[in-house]
Amino acid sequence: MEVKAYQCKHCGEIYKTNAKASKCEISCEEQRVEQERQKILQKEMQELVHYVRLNAQSVEDVCRMSEEVSKKLFGKYYIKKLILNVGYREHASNTHSAPIGMKSNFIASKNPDLPTGYPALTGEITIVYNKEPKGFSDEHFNRYNGIAGINTGSGGYRSSKEGYTCSYGVTLWLDDFPKIKENIEKVFLENNKFEEQQKQIVQEYEKELKKSTYIDGLDFDIKKLTKEVEELNARLQTVRQAKNDAIKEISTPFKEKIENLHTKTENGFRVSRPHKAL
């Protein structure tokens, strides 16, 4: 006797009737499409999670991009306004967070081999939501389904005058923001180069100056050289100031805005004082 069997071309399951096999094929195909859809959604989500930190060139970008991304990422509780008042720190504490892929060090005395800090922008973050969000800031700022790279610390609810306003201490590890890191390093590098050149010129003049003192009748030259050395030192000061201004521009564009917000704060909420920018 001839036995006929029908196989689902997707999962290989064997059926007695063609109808059942066809049904399985449709269901298998639907499953595949759904899995594909989930995979794409997951990938898009991950791209959104890391979009801000990988693309921001400045702190101003971090604020603007976070607002944009929050509408896609959080849905109902999006960020109306995000304000960062941060300054550069070469060795920010890693007790509560660390750059992605690096280790935090909660109790340094217990982990003498781990680093105790990394370069970061630290200070205060103020978030104005369109309405009261569910959960804590960790749900909106994390590397799984929030905005990655923004590490919030202590703080909390402040006011509901412009929406729902919270503020927290914040750490942005430079390693998590490669373009901001590059910009800050560029400023450092150019400044160091210039400072080094100026120092060398000053040293040369000083050498000449020393030689000159052994020769009589060169008072005029000495005075002239001394004046030039002073001028170069003054220029060096200007360069140092320019470096500080450049870093400030990268890291703290919203100082005034945040000060305005402070004056609107309702009484009774403890707010950590923002770090002084460089």
Residue 78 one-letter amino acid: Y
Q: Does residue number 232 form part of the binding site for Zn ion (CB under 5 A)? A: no
User: Of residues 5, 7, 11, 207, which one binds Zn ion by CB under 5 A?
Assistant: 11
Report the distance separating Cα 167 and Cα 53, nearest Å: 20
Under the binding rule (CB under 5 A), the answer on residue 100 touching Zn ion is no
In the bound complex, which residue of the shown chain has the CB atom lying closest to Zn ion? Answer: 8
For Zn ion, the binding residue among 8, 59, 174, 261 (CB under 5 A) is 8
Total residues at interface with Zn ion (CB under 5 A): 6
- Please return the burial class of 211, using the count of CB atoms within 10 Å of its CB with bins 0-12, 13-18 and 19+: exposed
Q: Measured from the CB atom, is 19 or 189 closer to Zn ion?
A: 19
- Is residue 15 close enough to count as binding Zn ion by CB under 5 A? no
Asked if 24 touches Zn ion (CB under 5 A), the answer is yes
Q: Is 22 in the site for Zn ion (CB under 5 A)?
A: no
8 or 63: whose CB is closer to Zn ion? Answer: 8
Binding segment for Zn ion (CB under 5 A), chosen from 27-35, 56-64, 81-89, 138-146, is 27-35
| 140-179 footprint of Zn ion as x/- string (CB under 5 A) | ----------------------------------------
Stretch of 16-24, 82-90, 107-115, 202-210 lying at the interface with Zn ion (CB under 5 A): 16-24
In terms of Cβ atoms closer than 10 Å to its own Cβ (0-12, 13-18, 19+), residue 94 is: buried
Q: Is 218 in the site for Zn ion (CB under 5 A)?
A: no
Site map 49..68 versus Zn ion, x via CB under 5 A: --------------------
What is the closest distance, in whole angstroms, from the C-beta atom of residue 38 to Zn ion in the complex? 19
Task: Tell which one of 28, 102, 222, 232 touches Zn ion (CB under 5 A).
Answer: 28
**Minimum CB–partner distance for residue 42 and Zn ion (Å):** 24
Which segment (25-33, 124-132, 182-190, 222-230) binds Zn ion by CB under 5 A? 25-33
Of 79, 122, 78, 80, whose CA–CA distance to 97 is shortest? 122
Is the CB of residue 170 less than 8 Å from the CB of residue 84? yes
Q: What are phi and psi of 126, to 5 degrees?
A: -120, 130
CA-nearest of 150, 164, 191 to 61 is: 150
Contact status: 26 vs Zn ion (CB under 5 A): no
Give least dist CB 37 to Zn ion, A.
Answer: 18
Classify residue 135 as exposed, middle or buried by CB count within 10 Å of its CB (0-12, 13-18, 19+): exposed
* Least distance in angstroms from the C-beta of 70 to Zn ion: 41
Binding site for Zn ion (CB under 5 A): 8, 10-11, 13, 24, 28
